[in-house]
Amino acid sequence: MPLLEGRRGLIFGVANRRSIAWAIAQALAAEGAELAFTFQGERLEQGVRELAATVGSPLVVPADVTSDADLDRVFEAVDQTWGGLDILIHSVAFAPPQTFEQPFVATTRDDFKLALDISAYSLIALTHRAATLMDRAGGGAVLTMTFNASQRTYPNYNIMAVAKAALEAEVRYLAFELGSRGIRVNAISAGPVRTLAARSITGFTVMEEHTEKNAPLRRNITAEDVGNAAKYLCSPLAQNVTGQILLVDAGYSILGMSL
């Protein structure tokens, strides 16, 4: 039997077929999961709907993660469609473009608030709503995406690194609080992946080349590698794994220095 047969998952963060969230969706669907999707804005709607149709999704809804009203509507739709939820994928992050170019010390209050709201607080908001639906299923799995800039400095990553550090702390606190309800909360810390969003980060190609040259495995990872890790964390194989940050980075994070 497929690992996720009969499981229902809600995925935030698909923008196009190169999105990490889409690679995760494909991996979950291949193991029998039924999936619902959200999209951000009319510009992305058609593309997300077309992708969702390829995995037989019964539900595709708009969602602005900064709007509580939007999130309420999303989870109401999930409730009406399924009456419960087993998997929540949070692959959402944003910081204003200028924050990847200007000095970190020049970060404005408004840019800080926006980056932390979308990239970090949204995990709390989504998990709070998902938990009620997961209770009906006897538990569930929440998965988010982070990056090692939360622990180490990376040129130009700036305020997004702060958001990822906050996100990782949330993973631990949510896992602690929701564990008694059978809800597991984990994160994947992925190495550089060539998504459209990532390539907008100043110096991303340099980061990618440096990782490939210096990682112990001497290669970069792919979105499919992240999807396979997500499949494990969302499945019964990881039933006793929670509050963890799983590094999928070809070993780059173990380095103290490169030769």
Instruction: Kindly name the residue from 157, 231, 232, 252 that is annotated as catalytic.
Output: 157
Report how far residue 166's alpha carbon sits from residue 154's, in angstroms, rounded to the nearest whole number.
16
Answer whether 14's CB lies under 8 Å from 40's CB.
no
Two tokens at 126? 């989504």
157 classed as catalytic: yes
Two tokens at 16? 């196009």
Instruction: Kindly name the residue from 113, 121, 164, 232 that is annotated as catalytic.
Output: 164
Q: Which residues are catalytic?
A: 157, 164
